[in-house]
Homo-oligomer: A and B are copies of this chain.
Amino acid sequence: MIGKLNHVAIAVPDLEAGTVVYRDTLGAKVSEPLPLPEHGVTTVFVALPNTKIELLHPLGEDSPIAKFLEKNPSGGIHHVCYEVEDIEAAAAKMKESGARALGDIKIGAHNKPVLFLHPKDFCGTLVELEQA
């Protein structure tokens, strides 16, 4: 069912410092910071030849990554995102397998339908499924 790894999301306490690490130290191509107020994050995209890294920094109150950064003050990998062809079918498959979703299907940061899955049912890893 899952297709490509769409991105690895890394929460960072300092977006400029994270950008410097990926652009200057690791020599990757990075985007300008993109504020996504409706998702509570500002994102810098790191373009790799086969996938993306997304640096996430909290934006506004109730950012979905604020608590994660409290627990991980140096930052860390927040989630991985796998592509699926049909998000409704994927959600049904999760239910059938007894694997928990976090909330319902919603529109994600790439303006595509997404579903987040419970880390306890996915090897301790927060998983996002995105309709490709």
The residues in A between 104 and 122 inclusive whose CB is less than 8 angstroms from any CB of B are 119-122
From residue A1, how far is it (CB to closest CB) to chain B in Å?
A: 3
A48 / chain B contacts, CB cutoff of 8 Å: 2-5, 82
Interface residue tally for chain A (C-beta within 8 Å): 41
Asked if A34 is at the interface (CB within 8 A of a chain B CB), the reply is no
- The contact string, 1 if C-beta is below 8 Å from chain B, for chain A 1-41, is 11111001011100000100100111110000000000000
Contact of A74 among B26, B27, B28, B123 (CB under 8 A): B123
The docked-state distance in angstroms from the alpha carbon of A5 to that of B49 is 8
A3 / chain B contacts, CB cutoff of 8 Å: 48-49
